[in-house]
Structure 1
Amino acid sequence: MRRLLTNPASLLGAALVAAMVLLALIAPTVWESTASRIDPSQINQGASPAHLLGTDALGRDLLARTLVATRLTLGLAFLATLIGTASGIILGALPALLPRRAGRVVVAAVDILVAFPALLLAMFTAVVTGLGARGAVLGIGVALAPTFARLTHTLTASLAGADYIAAARMLQVPRHRILTRHILPNIAEPLILNTAQAMGSALLGLSAMSFLGMGVQAPSYDWGRLLNEAFGHVYVTPTVVIAPATAVALAGLGFMLLGDSFAKAAAGASDRVGTPVTPVVTPAEEAPVADAVLDVRDLTVAFPGGVTPVRQVSLTVCEKEIVGLVGESGSGKSMTAAAIGQIVPYPGLVGSARMRLCGTDLDALTDAQRRKLLGASLAMVFQDPTSSLNPALRVGGQLAEVATLHDGATRTEARVRAVERLARVHIKEPAQVVRQYPHELSGGMRQRAVIAMGMMGTPRLIIADEPTTALDVTVQREVVKVLREVVDDTRAGALFISHDIAVVSELCDRIAVMYAGRIVEELPADALHTAQHPYTQALIGSLPDMDTDRSRPLATIPGRQPAPGAVTEGCAFADRCALATDRCASARPELRATADTHAVACWEAS
């Protein structure tokens, strides 16, 4: 609603529609006698003080008749929209109810109707059902139905693979109940939003039908009928068409603007309400770490509406070091990686006390300098290699593009380098793989190809965001081995993000545990058994091993992590912690060192 109220186009559309509805309510009562008064002395007159926009063939005032016709015009348009919307939704939903073969017949029929010109379809229906208001309404309703049927079918098909639909089918819920309870409520919004535009289309269509003599018949009249009656005199007294033509244009414009504004507001509904505010962070006082490829202090990511998924995160990654960032889904791990890589989606804003990559302060660079440094020194490996690789391009071309853009290599040099990088990550027959498309590779090969893509330059920092999540255990081990070899060979540092603490403990040198946007513990990987924070201990305890008593249930962490916008001033883990005290609920513990290589944020940690 706030977006609509601040948009001039939506305000104009709403004002026009409100004015038309008001006229429809009061005009027949106020101006009916003037509109129906016959005056033989004023037949087909132009504009005059007595008749501001002229008169018709019986001397009746055209302005008054136009105002009175508002009720019938809008009423017929509403009925046509209702018919088109209801019949279209039913038609579009039929394929989900009928057997597959019958559903295909319905879809084919809808496709044919969509391809047929809407006005011709309306005219054909009006001729078949009979000329007049009823035929015109049915005709326009039939013309609107295919568009709603196509939209309904498309939206229904998009939900067909949803897990809750599959669960309902597994439970043998009847098809009609799946449609009415699980599908239609979830696609109602776009259907409702399209109704405003359909109302405008119906109004214009009905006016066109009446103008052509196929709609409202005398003695009744709508705006189209008034245009039809006045058109014969337009060359003698042009003002006779001004009132009905202006009414059609303004009403159609109002509904179209309002419908377009609804659609745009819905498309931007994922944006949080409010204005983005850059996080205020005090500059770091301590000196930067000398040999660090990444040195971040108090990194904060904020979205409008008080949503802060990353809160004062400090990380250091040195050469040949792999730092693991572990935590539950939603703890802020991926958003931390996006902030380091400068790819936080709008309207999120990033602030930090210090952000240094390869000894260079990123905040002190221009946009062009920052892009150049990040392109050459940072490699990012994402969780899903399928989304990282363009399915329409060969693997070799996508790898070569990195070298040609950032290093200025020729196509031949880039191709040779691509083959060499694929071989480095243990892909067999790399010369053949560069000629293949991503879908021809297995999941593990695609992930290694993405790692090879990151190695096409000379990265000093590798950020791997859950690169083993979608892979089986055997392939996970291969990817982890490749990443370790790459770090050792290139002397790069790596930030490895995962929710699997077992994989992190095997691969990484240090581990940072993240919860509700903050680092709650940092310690060496080989000292994981000495973890002091209750959350870290719970993560370790929930990991079964060969000594786990299989007769007992697996250990779990009760409750759930707070949402980024619901984090309180105290310890975010207090509600789930068995050791929590009143102090934990009221005051947030800072990350403090308990040993040279160990830091923890907990009031109860020793």
Structure 2
Amino acid sequence: MGVITLAMLGSLAVLAVAGAVVWGQQADRPDPSAVLRGPTAGHPLGTDRLGRDLLARLLAATWPSLLPAVAATLLGAAAGITLGALTAVVGGRAARLLGALINLLLAFPALLVAMFFAALFGAGAGGAVFALAVACAPGFARITQTLAAQVAGTDFMAAARVLGLRRHRLLLRHVLPHIAEPLMLNTAVAAGSALVALSGLSFLGLGVQPPSYDWGLMLSQGLDRIYTEPLPAVAPGIAIVYATVAFQLLGEMLAGAAVRQARPRPEEEPVAHAARADRPASTDHVLEVEDLRVVLPTADGVVRPVRGVTLTLRRGELVGLVGESGSGKSLAALAVADLLPDDARVTWTTHRFLGADAESLTREQRRRQLATGMALIFQNPASAFNPSLRLGRQMTEAVRAHRGTPRAEAVEQALAQLQRVGLPAGRRLLRSRPFQLSGGQRQRVAIAAASMMRPDLIIADEPTTALDVTVQRQIMDLLRRVRREDATAILFISHDIALVADACDRVLVMYGGTIVENLPARELAAGARHPYTRMLVASVPDLAADRDPPPLTIEGGPPDPCGTAPGCPFHDRCPHRLDRCAVDSPVLSPLRPEHEVACWRPLPAAPLGGARETEEVEK
């Protein structure tokens, strides 16, 4: 498409520059002996009422047809972009007035506005250009207003206002650079529409006036003889379509180039699906994943946030997944739930959910299995719920879509789930919208909605992070009840080590995109063997500890997700590293039943009070 677009635009550019020079005299030379001739060898498109060659006039009219369209687009874009961008830098009342003005201008059809102002400014090319610029400005203003509103609420805009920057600096430095790309794409596409509109004005007699001419005027003049000689009318129409398609393809090409620049293609990696281990599925396991890897293309390069995660969840088991921010916890969970972007590359050695191999299912079967057997509880229920829909509709949507449950029965099931999570005002709550509830109520509704399908697995992605301590305990009690009553496996992702140790059966510790330790939760405080796990536990504040020394922190930062350095991902920060740690990456290996660790030098089990003793050792 890029080659075709460049060829079409190049041909238009050549004709626009050379058309009047090469064919200008022939196009304006009358020939009384060849008036209204049909197509001949000397005149392939025929002649007009003065005997002038129509092919020469068609080619010479390229510049007078394209230049006004581009000029009108640029003028309208400049006016509309300025008007729309001002809504992001002016005060609240002025922004509302500008928004009302944009809405008022959009209420009038653009073509009628162009015709009105063309008649007001006077017939001619100049009047048509200014009329069309006025007509297309509101469309640019609305697009710019929408894009600028996203920038206006950012922290860097607030910081710029605090610094006292003037409005024109806010506009030029902070607003327009962030929205320039989509505006350029829309301008390229709008140029084609402007060409059609200007040709239409010339066709109606409101644009270019004789003796000047463009494709629209030639189309109008050729229409009188279309039934006897169609080429004089068809040829200008083909030229208009050709140029319009070229501008449209230019916009498509720019959009495609922008997407490729923002999302570079990931490096080809061997697909691990074919190397799947032929191990029989366990009837007790809800989820079995081995060597899960995720590759994401970004503007800064290829990112590998998940680099070989192995995890299993048994029915009715509550498993905690902990680790620093950026360790890949949420992305691993989204990969299991098949919710990553389309350009993400996900591979694995084994992937079984409810005993079914992911490779043996079609995409439709896979989606239905996930929709009925798995549920997610997100960290922020305010964004997880649709603010424009009532909670009742959102809670009952899944059972009605996948199980064909009648509406009345689905509502009764929703009321039972709300009662189960401690929200007795059921029917009134179902008529509410998410923003009418508090954070704790929204999270309870999220748990109730996740339980509607009685799923076999619930992934809770930091569901208690934004809540106070009291509500956190209530949410954890609800998750325990769901697990106990429905035999549901729960993968609980959290940063709160103490909460995970108290609530979960088993803990998975994740670092650098991989699981570094898998151990029972009751042994987390004293039985952790990986240095990273031990340091995580030691960094948890203890109210009984001495307050004089500063709290323990893990020096350094997590590994670069774009890097491909060999060895253990923690070796740069590990005080117990060996030379081998920088070269060979350890694999998750069993130390004893129910305890696995990925370390070349596992630490000895700590005695009681091991957290404080570990702190002494680290010092």
TM range (shorter): 0.7 to 0.9
The aligned amino acid for 1:197 is V
Residues 1:107 and 2:103 aligned together: no
Distance 2:385 2:195 in 1: 48
Give the aligned partner of residue 502 of structure 1.
498
Residues 1:44 and 2:36 aligned together: yes
2:72 to 70, 76, 80: 80
Residues 1:543 and 2:535 aligned together: no
Give the aligned partner of residue 212 of structure 2.
220
Larger mean Cα displacement after TM superposition, 274-283 or 568-577: 274-283
Q: Contact 1:301/1:311 (CA < 8 Å) preserved in 2?
A: yes
Residues 1:122 and 2:114 aligned together: yes
Residues 1:156 and 2:166 aligned together: no
Cα distance change on mapping 1:543 and 1:170 into 2, 3 Å: farther
The aligned amino acid for 1:206 is L
Residues 1:259 and 2:255 aligned together: no
1:207 to 199, 209, 227: 199
1:483 to 479, 485, 494: 479
1:515 to 511, 518, 521: 511
1:125-164 CA-partner distances (Å, limit 9, x unpaired): 3344443222222222222211111111121122222222
Q: Contact 2:285/2:355 (CA < 8 Å) preserved in 1?
A: yes
Distance 2:461 2:53 in 1: 73
Give the aligned partner of residue 593 of structure 2.
596
Give the aligned partner of residue 317 of structure 1.
313
1:172 to 161, 164, 168: 164
Matches within 5 A, 1:50-61: 50-61=42-53
Cα distance change on mapping 1:567 and 1:502 into 2, 3 Å: farther
Residues 1:470 and 2:463 aligned together: no
2:61 to 59, 69, 72: 69
Distance 1:92 1:388 in 2: 30
1:49-95 CA-partner distances (Å, limit 9, x unpaired): 11111122332211112112212222222222221111111122233
The aligned amino acid for 2:563 is A
Q: Give me the TM-score of the superposition, normalised by structure 1.
A: 0.87
Cα distance change on mapping 1:138 and 1:317 into 2, 3 Å: same
Cα distance change on mapping 1:168 and 1:532 into 2, 3 Å: farther
Q: Contact 1:524/1:598 (CA < 8 Å) preserved in 2?
A: yes
Q: Secondary structure at the match of 2:591?
A: strand
Residues 1:528 and 2:524 aligned together: yes
Give the aligned partner of residue 559 of structure 1.
557
Distance 1:248 1:377 in 2: 55
1:2-30 CA-partner distances (Å, limit 9, x unpaired): xx54xxxxx54443222111211222332
Distance 2:362 2:234 in 1: 58
Q: Contact 1:15/1:254 (CA < 8 Å) preserved in 2?
A: no
Compute the displacement of 1:488 (Å).
3.1
1:572 to 559, 569, 574: 569
Larger mean Cα displacement after TM superposition, 223-232 or 15-24: 223-232
Distance 2:48 2:404 in 1: 76
The aligned amino acid for 1:544 is P
Q: Contact 2:8/2:246 (CA < 8 Å) preserved in 1?
A: yes
1:198-245 CA-partner distances (Å, limit 9, x unpaired): 211222222223333333334433223333444455455433234323
Distance 2:329 2:352 in 1: 19
Distance 1:269 1:548 in 2: 53
Residues 1:586 and 2:583 aligned together: yes
Give the aligned partner of residue 8 of structure 1.
none
Larger mean Cα displacement after TM superposition, 456-465 or 296-305: 296-305
Give the aligned partner of residue 293 of structure 1.
286
Cα distance change on mapping 1:184 and 1:291 into 2, 3 Å: same
Larger mean Cα displacement after TM superposition, 354-363 or 187-196: 354-363
1:261-301 CA-partner distances (Å, limit 9, x unpaired): 54566578766536997831533366666643333322334
Number of equivalences: 597
Residues 1:455 and 2:447 aligned together: no
Give the aligned partner of residue 351 of structure 2.
355
Q: Secondary structure at the match of 1:47?
A: coil
Cα distance change on mapping 1:222 and 1:361 into 2, 3 Å: closer
Matches within 5 A, 1:311-390: 311-365=307-361, 370=366, 373-390=369-386
Q: Contact 2:293/2:348 (CA < 8 Å) preserved in 1?
A: yes
Compute the displacement of 1:589 (Å).
1.8
Give the aligned partner of residue 425 of structure 1.
421
Q: Contact 2:327/2:558 (CA < 8 Å) preserved in 1?
A: no
The aligned amino acid for 2:200 is A
1:533-558 CA-partner distances (Å, limit 9, x unpaired): 34334433443332364674772542
Compute the displacement of 1:494 (Å).
1.9
Cα distance change on mapping 1:157 and 1:399 into 2, 3 Å: closer
The aligned amino acid for 1:91 is L
Distance 1:408 1:207 in 2: 54
Distance 1:113 1:408 in 2: 46
The aligned amino acid for 2:93 is R
Q: Secondary structure at the match of 1:60?
A: coil
Query: Alpha carbon RMSD of aligned pairs, Å?
Result: 3.3
Compute the displacement of 1:41 (Å).
1.5
Compute the displacement of 1:417 (Å).
3.9
Cα distance change on mapping 1:548 and 1:31 into 2, 3 Å: farther
Compute the displacement of 1:251 (Å).
0.9
Residues 1:188 and 2:180 aligned together: yes
Cα distance change on mapping 1:570 and 1:82 into 2, 3 Å: same
Cα distance change on mapping 1:173 and 1:220 into 2, 3 Å: same
Distance 1:81 1:40 in 2: 39
Compute the displacement of 1:376 (Å).
4.8
Larger mean Cα displacement after TM superposition, 591-600 or 354-363: 354-363
Compute the displacement of 1:169 (Å).
2.2
The aligned amino acid for 1:422 is L
1:281-328 CA-partner distances (Å, limit 9, x unpaired): 533366666643333322334456865433332112234432111123
Q: Contact 2:318/2:491 (CA < 8 Å) preserved in 1?
A: yes
Larger mean Cα displacement after TM superposition, 184-193 or 167-176: 167-176
The aligned amino acid for 1:72 is P
Q: Secondary structure at the match of 2:460?
A: strand
Q: Contact 2:272/2:349 (CA < 8 Å) preserved in 1?
A: no
Q: Contact 1:227/1:244 (CA < 8 Å) preserved in 2?
A: yes
Larger mean Cα displacement after TM superposition, 384-393 or 406-415: 406-415
Compute the displacement of 1:47 (Å).
0.9
The aligned amino acid for 1:106 is L
Q: Contact 1:194/1:263 (CA < 8 Å) preserved in 2?
A: no
Q: Secondary structure at the match of 2:87?
A: helix
Give the aligned partner of residue 614 of structure 2.
none
Q: Secondary structure at the match of 2:88?
A: helix
Cα distance change on mapping 1:312 and 1:50 into 2, 3 Å: same
Distance 2:578 2:489 in 1: 39
Distance 2:325 2:574 in 1: 18
Cα distance change on mapping 1:225 and 1:316 into 2, 3 Å: closer
Cα distance change on mapping 1:550 and 1:171 into 2, 3 Å: farther
Structure 2 unaligned segments of length 5 or more: list them: 604-619
Distance 1:195 1:415 in 2: 49
Distance 2:213 2:406 in 1: 74
Distance 2:271 2:409 in 1: 44
Q: Give me the TM-score of the superposition, normalised by structure 2.
A: 0.86
